[in-house]
Amino acid sequence: MRTTLNAADGAASHLLFDPSSALDVAAFVVAGVDLSPGAAIPSDGDPRIDRALAGFLFTCGPEHIRHPEALEGSAGAYYPLHGSLAGTPVSRTEMCGAGDRCTAVTEVDLACGGRAAIERLWQVDAAAHAVTLADRVINIGSSAFAPMMMYHMNIAGRLLGEETRIESPSVDGGSLPWRFGEGESAHFCRPAVACDGWSEVALTAMPGLKGRALRVRFRTETLPFLQMWRCQRGGANVVSIEPASHRLAKRPQLAANGELDPLQPGQSRDYSLAFTVS
């Protein structure tokens, strides 16, 4: 499933959606160059995540994010790597209008025994030269669960150079080199600084995209944290922008601090982001 966006500089952009994984973005091609890392990724041993990470955007959640942790009240059971959604086929999908609007519903069984539906709306805004995503997570099960969501936008490290920087009011001084931290792999997670309810982050001056920048915006009401990760280890060369619903802490800590807000049967929660290359 593919749609096209004409960028501000006239370069055509193409989105390839993956209906076998919640209608995530398998490829994002700008002026003939795919931003996705492809095979240049590390493996955590979960084939569904290896496939998802190779694409441009995959969704982590809806009941757990990050690495596996023990399932509350179940000895020996764990939440899966990056939650249960990745690798789940859509229940139904529809391309609307002139290919500038696409909807999908994905129903997923949760590790905690509940069930959720993700109502997804992708839109291409030709006037703003941007792609927007609106998700609604609905509890369609018979018990409450605490929704957790994180969006991984994965960029091939080969497209970045010494001049490439991370620019955002959420990082110290508003700018830092893309190869942040020490060693072959590094990550950070910090509160997202918002303006009118939205936070922004950009990877600027990417030589592999002829100096273009990837700009990302996300709604901080339900995605109040900016996480970023990079890995240049062995054959892996990837950088990821990851708006997140929760800070980097173990589930027992989040629960003790009242940060795992339950969603009762029939209730829903909304998440939004947008991105563009300019």
What pTM does this model have? 0.95
Q: What is the distance between the alpha carbons of residues 23 and 151, in angstroms, rounded to a whole number?
A: 13
Q: In the numeric block, which tokens belong to residue 186? A: 């590094």
Strand partners, 153: 57, 241
| Per-position pLDDT tens, the chain of length 278 | 555 554 444 556 788 999 999 999 999 999 899 999 999 999 999 999 999 999 999 999 999 999 999 998 777 899 999 999 999 999 999 888 777 889 999 999 999 999 999 999 999 877 667 899 999 999 999 999 999 999 999 999 999 999 999 999 999 999 999 999 999 999 999 999 999 999 999 999 999 999 999 999 999 999 999 999 999 999 999 999 999 999 999 999 999 999 999 999 999 999 999 999 98
- Looking at residue 1, its pLDDT comes to 57
- Looking at residue 8, its pLDDT comes to 47
Say whether 256 sits in a helix, a strand or coil.
helix
Q: In the numeric block, which tokens belong to residue 30? A: 């700008």
| CATH fold of the domain at 2-277 | Beta-galactosidase; Chain A, domain 5 (2.70.98)
Say whether 140 sits in a helix, a strand or coil.
coil
Q: What is the distance between the alpha carbons of residues 243 and 215, in angstroms, rounded to a whole number?
A: 13
